């Protein structure tokens, strides 16, 4: 079966510090990978998605970036965090085939920028 | 472009009462439809999904949803709510084909009174 792991689960970072959230998927190959952000009362916001190694699509221009150095690894980064980057970040994956629209989520990472 | 509307931000029910959460979608063809549940501080868990066939879909935890093409709706139901069902519920719509990323609604918060 497939599993998705993301870490750290909780992070408190000062303004201006860097960020690295990591996500890995096990039990599948060539998945589509996603990073979402969830701010209080604002639903899910798709930040980035990737259909393959080194292929990143950005949905929202902002202070964050994403990378996919390996097939099942997805990293969310920032060089300098802003207060507005605080939120709940969710990594997710889906099958890459033609019927692969079902998205499966990780447990999320709470980021508080202080 | 596809879109999803969850008209109720909050729903309050008594334990043991029936539940219906509303979801309306906009999509030009037959969509893929999903319901997810999110407990506080956790990721989203897939409850059920509709791809084709029987329009009444059974999911986990005793939930079901009915796809009504004429009403562009995919409402989630449960005959008897348990206190543990208190959570945030998200409806999502996706297109057919692996390149279509599902669009999520803003969510409905379910409050269960004892």
Q: Helix, strand or coil for residue A85?
A: helix
Distance in Å, alpha carbon of B60 to nearest chain A alpha carbon:
15
| pLDDT of amino acid B25 | 95
Q: Decide if A56 contacts A72 (C-beta within 8 A).
A: no
CB-CB neighbors (< 8 A) of B34 in chain A: 102-103
* Predicted pLDDT at B99: 62
Residue-wise pLDDT tens digits, A101-114: 789 999 999 999 99
| Phi and psi, residue A13, nearest 5° | -130, 145
Cα(A103)–Cα(A82) distance, rounded to whole angstroms? 28
- Residue A41's pLDDT band, with cuts at 50, 70 and 90, is low
C-alpha of B34 from chain center: 6
Quote the CA–CA distance of A35 and A32 in Å, as a whole number: 11
Nearest C-alpha of chain B: how many angstroms from A79? 25
**What's the average pLDDT block by block, 10 residues per block, for chain B (114 residues)?**
92 97 90 94 94 93 96 97 97 76 93 94
The pLDDT of residue A61: 67
Give pLDDT, residue B52.
87
Backbone angles phi, psi at B88, to 5 degrees: -100, 135
* Chain A residues bordering chain B (beta-carbon distance below 8 Å): 32, 34, 42-44, 46, 49, 51, 88, 90, 94-108, 110
């Amino acid at each position: 079966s497939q599993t998705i792991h993301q870490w750290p689960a909780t992070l408190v970072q000062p303004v201006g510090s860097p960020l690295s959230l990591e996500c890995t998927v096990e039990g599948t190959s060539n998945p589509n990978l996603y990073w979402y952000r969830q701010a209080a009362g604002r639903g899910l916001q798709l930040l980035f998605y990737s259909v393959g190694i080194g292929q990143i699509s950005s949905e929202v221009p902002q202070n964050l970036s994403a990378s996919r150095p390996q097939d099942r690894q997805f990293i969310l980064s920032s060089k300098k965090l802003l207060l507005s980057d605080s939120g709940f970040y969710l990594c997710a994956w889906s099958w890459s085939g033609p019927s692969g629209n079902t998205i499966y989520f990780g447990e999320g990472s709470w980021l508080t920028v202080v | 472009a596809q879109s999803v509307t969850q008209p109720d931000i909050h729903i309050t029910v008594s334990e043991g009462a029936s539940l219906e959460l509303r979801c309306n979608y906009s999509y030009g063809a037959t969509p893929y439809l999903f319901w997810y549940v999110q407990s506080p501080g956790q990721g989203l868990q897939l409850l059920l999904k509709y791809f084709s066939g029987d329009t009444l879909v059974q999911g986990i935890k005793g939930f079901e949803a009915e796809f009504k093409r004429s009403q562009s709706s995919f409402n989630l139901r449960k005959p008897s709510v348990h206190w543990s069902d208190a959570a945030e519920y998200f409806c999502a719509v996706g297109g057919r084909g692996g390149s279509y990323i599902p669009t999520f609604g803003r969510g409905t918060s379910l409050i269960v009174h004892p």
